[in-house]
């Protein structure tokens, strides 16, 4: 009996071992099948995935090349703003530089002609008439003469911004001034860029107007106009203003110009009398 029990126990042990071996074998086969299945799936779909990724990459690249990425677009907009600011600053600097050159030319012309300045204040009270004529607090006792040139003073300094007009009548302590807007006070000018000549001859609706002596004259917006010296009243090189518009007359026989002057003829207080 003891022998039989021992033999039965050995059989059970052997069967258990065999079953464990079978389980291990089956498990290894299953892992292989899973891996093989995954490899098969990857093998089948890899070309599709590759093409899909390639197409999407090219589309993204094309979009970014066309409109840029979000970061790129933001940087471009920033550069555009900076560029506009730089252009504005450059225009302002050019204006200052150009104005400086004209002031130097103006000063040199006055020095060559041996002019000197006399500060004066406007004593007119009628704002409407001031645009064409007004009185100042200087006269014969101060040495003023008819045709002395009047310039707009910058503050209380001895610097001027542009031509206002000329003295037409001198009293003992006061003088009458006619502005360049007065219809009887035609002023000859020269285009500082092209060297072409013209005449200021009209003022309507707060706009100074004139015309070029030659229809073929080269004149365009923003050109600087200076006194030409022709006529003997206004010395050459005094600043008048900038051309704001150029247009032909209806019969195409005259080239007209509108002029922007830095002088505010409705708010005149201090002036400079330029005398020989």
pLDDT at res. 242: 93
Q: Per the domain annotation, does 8 fall within a domain?
A: no
Residue 65 domain flag: yes
Do 269 and 146 share a structural domain? yes
196 in the same domain as 162: no
- The boundaries of the domain holding residue 65 are 60-180+263-275
Same domain, 138 and 227: no
Same domain, 98 and 193: no
Residues 240 and 269 in one domain: no
Locate 26 and state its tokens.
Answer: 């089956």
Instruction: Determine the Cα–Cα distance for residues 104 and 224; give it in Å rounded to an integer.
Output: 14
Note whether 149 and 271 are same-domain residues.
Answer: yes
CATH number at residue 270: 2.40.10.340
Q: What are phi and psi of 158, to 5 degrees?
A: -100, 25
Query: Which residue stretches of the chain have pLDDT < 70?
Result: 1-14, 16-17, 19-74, 77-78, 80-114, 125-128, 155-160, 205-206
Q: Is 166 helix (H, G, I), strand (E, B) or coil?
A: strand
Q: Please give the angle made by the CA atoms of 179, 129 and 110, to the nearest 5 degrees.
A: 20
Q: How is the beta sheet containing 160-170 ordered, strand by strand?
A: 116-121, 270-275, 149-153, 160-170, 175-179, 133-136
Residue 267 in domain: yes
Residues 269, 154 share a domain: yes
Cβ contact 269:124 at 8 Å:
no
Q: pTM of the entire structure?
A: 0.58
One domain for residues 139 and 114: yes
The pLDDT assigned to 245 comes to 95
| 152 in the same domain as 271 | yes
Give the phi and the psi of residue 78 in degrees, each rounded to 5. Answer: -65, -40
Q: Could you tell me the CA-to-CA distances from 33 to 20, 21, 69, 91 in Å, in that order?
A: 20, 18, 45, 77
The answer to the question of residue 31 being in a domain is: no
Does 161 map to a domain? yes
Dist CA 128 CA 126 (whole Å): 6
Instruction: Assess if residue 51 is contained within a domain.
Output: no
The pLDDT value given to residue 168: 94
Same-domain pairing of 145 and 267: yes
Tokens of 162: 């542009």
**Residues 246, 271: one domain?**
no
Q: Give the residue carrying structure tokens 């006529």.
A: 231
Residue 11 counted as domain residue: no
- Residues 256 and 154 placed together within one structural domain of the fold: no
For the domain that residue 239 is a member of, what is the CATH number? 2.40.10.350
Nearest partner of 208 among 256, 138, 141, 158, judged by Cα: 256
The pLDDT of residue 95 is 46
d(CA 90, CA 101): 16
Q: Quote the number of domains for the chain.
A: 2
pLDDT tens by residue, 244-274? 999 999 998 999 999 998 888 888 888 999 9
């Amino acid at each position: 009996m003891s022998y039989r029990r021992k033999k039965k126990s050995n059989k059970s042990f052997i069967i258990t071992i065999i079953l464990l071996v079978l389980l291990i074998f089956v498990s290894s086969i299953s892992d292989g099948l899973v891996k093989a299945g995954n490899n098969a799936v990857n093998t089948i779909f890899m070309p599709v995935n590759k093409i899909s990724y390639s197409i999407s990459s090219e589309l993204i690249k094309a979009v970014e090349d066309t409109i840029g990425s979000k970061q790129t677009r933001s940087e471009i907009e920033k550069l555009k703003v900076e560029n506009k600011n730089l252009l504005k600053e450059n225009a302002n600097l050019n204006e200052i530089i150009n104005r400086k050159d004209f002031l130097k030319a103006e000063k040199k012309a006055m020095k060559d002609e041996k002019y000197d300045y006399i500060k004066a204040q406007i004593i007119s009270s009628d704002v409407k008439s001031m645009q064409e004529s007004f009185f100042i607090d200087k006269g014969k006792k101060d040495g003023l003469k008819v045709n002395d040139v009047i310039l707009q003073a910058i503050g209380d300094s001895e610097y001027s911004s542009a031509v206002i007009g000329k003295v037409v009548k001198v009293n003992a302590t006061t003088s009458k001034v006619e502005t360049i807007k007065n219809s009887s006070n035609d002023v000859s000018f020269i285009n500082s860029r092209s060297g072409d000549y013209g005449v200021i001859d009209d003022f309507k609706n707060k706009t100074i107007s004139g015309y070029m002596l030659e229809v073929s004259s080269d004149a365009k917006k923003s050109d600087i106009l200076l006194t030409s010296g022709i006529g003997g009243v206004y010395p050459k090189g005094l600043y008048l203003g900038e051309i704001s518009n150029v247009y032909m007359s209806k019969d195409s026989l005259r080239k007209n110009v509108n002029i922007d002057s830095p002088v505010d003829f409705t708010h005149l207080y201090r002036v400079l009398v330029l005398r020989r």
